[in-house]
Amino acid sequence: IQDKELLLIGTVHRDPEGLAKLSRLLSKECPVAVAVEVSPYGLFYRHKNGRRLHRQLMRRVNRLANELRVSWRRWGQIDAIQTQLRTPFEYRTAQNYCRDHGAMLFCIDSSDWSKRWIHEQWQHLLSSENLRTLLKELPEDLRDEVGRDYKMASLLLDPGDRSLVSVFAQRWAEDPCWQKREAELAQELERLYLRVQKGRLAYAGGWQHLLGPHAGGTLYERLEHLQPRRVLLDNGVSSQQAAGSRQEAAGSRQLGRGHREVISNCEMRMVKPGRVRSESQL
């Protein structure tokens, strides 16, 4: 009987209630080590520049909101950018848990990848042109948008229709940069798992990394030989899959018809100009 376990926790990075949800889940699962999908560089950059970038963002948002005669506080799109500039809730929660329980904490994403992503994407993200585009859109409630993302994640983690996963994964399956990052994440997480002698190693990161099979080489697919248990962070409880079995949280998936339309609509939201893509935290 194996006396250790790999637990993969799938999150929506923009979740405004994520800290409380993850805190409850970690307290329930009691891992001896926690790995987080964030890089040392990403943490350093936010610590050094986060407040300055937030001030810059809000100066531009207030100016544009006055110009367009709108109240930016109604725009979940702006909330999402603010969230991107902060230290990720996954790291803050894991740090608190590990401090209080004597567990080990690891940041396993690539600093090289993170540096490239931040310097290529954040300048556009905070640009006046991009913010103007967002403020001309209809306002979206961040909680509603996060809820839709969790519904999509719940659908795609359902073993009932694997073809949906293949459709969704097409947008990254042929991207060599994505494949390289996913391979490095898997290699680092397996290395940590082999170091754990007894107990549970928990990984907290974007839910897209948990998809599979037929998902184009995700983290989960690369670690499937370790028989990881997958948990979707939703409503503070778990919707789980493990070794062919699945435990469903009450009320977590009432999706009905239109599954492919759900995927299509969510993909469109994730690639709009200025959209903080939930799978890219770094």
Cα separation of 178 and 224, whole Å?
18
Residue pLDDT, tens place only, 22-37:
999 999 999 999 999 9
Q: What is the mean pLDDT of residues 206-232?
A: 93
Res. 125: pLDDT tops 70: yes
Residue pLDDT, tens place only, 147-191:
999 998 988 887 666 677 877 777 777 888 888 999 999 999 999
3-class SS of residue 273: coil
Res. 244: pLDDT tops 70: no
Res. 13: pLDDT tops 90: yes
Residue pLDDT, tens place only, 251-262:
333 333 344 444
Residue pLDDT, tens place only, 69-119:
998 888 888 999 999 999 999 999 999 999 999 999 999 999 998 999 899
Res. 60: pLDDT tops 90: yes
CB 276 within 8 A of CB 83: yes
Q: pTM value?
A: 0.83
The per-residue DSSP string of 13-75 comes to: TT-TTHHHHHHHHHHHH--SEEEES--HHHHHHHHHHHHHHHHHHHHHHHHHHHHHT--GGG-
The per-residue DSSP string of 199-235 comes to: EEEEEEEEGGGG--SSSSS-HHHHTGGG-PEEEEEET
pLDDT of the residue at 159: 66
